[in-house]
Structure 1
Amino acid sequence: MKKINFVKFALDVVMGLLFVLFFNKNVLGGLAFHEIAGLFFAGAYITHILLNLGWVKRVTLKMFDRSLSWRVRGSYALNLLLLVSMTFIIVSGIMVSHVVFPNINVGNEGWFKMTHISVSFLVLALVGIHVGLHWQWVVNICKKMTNIKKSRAWMRYVAQGLTLIVLLFGLYQINQTSFVTHLKSSVSAFGVNTQQTGFGGKEAFGERGGMSEGRPSGGEGQSGFKRGEKGGNVNVVTVILTYTGIMAVFVIVAYYLRKLSLYRKKKTVANQN
């Protein structure tokens, strides 16, 4: 296996960990980490695109070729949606920056902040789907790194059991963080005001409600922090487990839906022969 795949894997892991940490602005000291790490994430994401630019060019040139499978077309559409939404998160994050770019003043900071948060929940789901569709690649990389050439029966049973546990844990966290509410808000974020979507209220962001966890209330400005305020510390492991668990739900669903699709296709071909 090419060494570049290990570089891609390591980069993806770092990006994944950073992204889930962004869902709590109090983590690792507060807003300063959120914004500085956000810029690092932006650079890593651009690097990720450049490393996969060959695939993008090939598929783009063949987009109107009838021989191109719908699976590849769907993957291309998903990546395009990720590109647009991730770019918006990065740009809107810069627009509402209070630490790295404190002198940027936008006319409607509240709207940028609202959509920055809501679209992040959408991207969490999209990233999960993206990883699920490429999960076999992840497994192959892990096997190569651990020198496991062939999976044994007991390992498959353990993996299935862990998958069930992770799925249940992720569903629990979806309920605890009101993830569905945030996901709906990401759909209705554009063209509506903050009050219509309920952002900034307790209903949208409760104690486990995402980016507002531990956030001061009232009079602190659009970001939930006074300019220059560091914020408090929270348990990093808890944040990682919470939002990685939510992402894992989409990983598992996407993986098994793809597996089911391949099984049906294989069965159809076998019946035709």
Structure 2
Amino acid sequence: MICLVEGIMIITGVNLFDDPQWNWAQVSVPEENVSLVLGDVIVPPARSIMMAFKYNGTTIIFDEINLSYTSYEFDPITSKLYPDAYHVTANSDEYRINVTINVIKNVPLVRSFPGALPDYVIFEQISDYDITLFKAGELVYSLNHGGFSEYTTHVVHTIYGKVLNAEGALVTVTNTRTGMSKQSTVASGYYSVDGNFLDYLVNDTAPWVADGDIMYIEAVKNQNRGNTTLIVNMSVDKQQAADISLQPQPE
């Protein structure tokens, strides 16, 4: 559970640290007695989004929250994709809020776990916030200010690569031994997929992939397709597949 105490988000409850994916964002302006906190906790298939805004001495708790990660970047250190832009709209009984978050600096931290347990990549971010608050349809407050955000993802065995000149292409990576597939949308020219905690629950010795598995990788955008394959090498933490070029398919 996530609660707000004087503008600070607190995560409570009993979970393995490695279990959920959590993302959060926070900005505060003490001289104006204003703060916002946003939490997005994902334990597939469940997802819980919480947001509160402290304004004019009152903490507004929002429901009907619509959070989207609108843009992604490729991190060359971890070979992961991370969101560099967020957009949130939400309503309470009296208020409506619109929040845009743009990441200006991103630093990845890796939290390792023993054995086959998935590791965590925690992206710590400095971000710009653009906030507008409405009451009864009237703009009552706006803010443009720097704050913080955080995005997390699991690490089992990262498979990534380039799709040439096909931003936004959908890439499907399929383990030909198990039939398991994972998808990624190309951002900054790259795709990146990996296992997660659910994969570990299914197979706690070789979640997601095993040494020697053959991965079939297909990229699709409109009527254009391309593919490649990769043989899993578990002696390394991550693998880059051969570049994919899309070709038009005959109708």
Shorter-chain TM range is under 0.3
Q: Output the TM-score relative to the length of structure 1.
A: 0.23
More strand as a share of residues: 2
Please identify which structure carries the higher helix content. 1
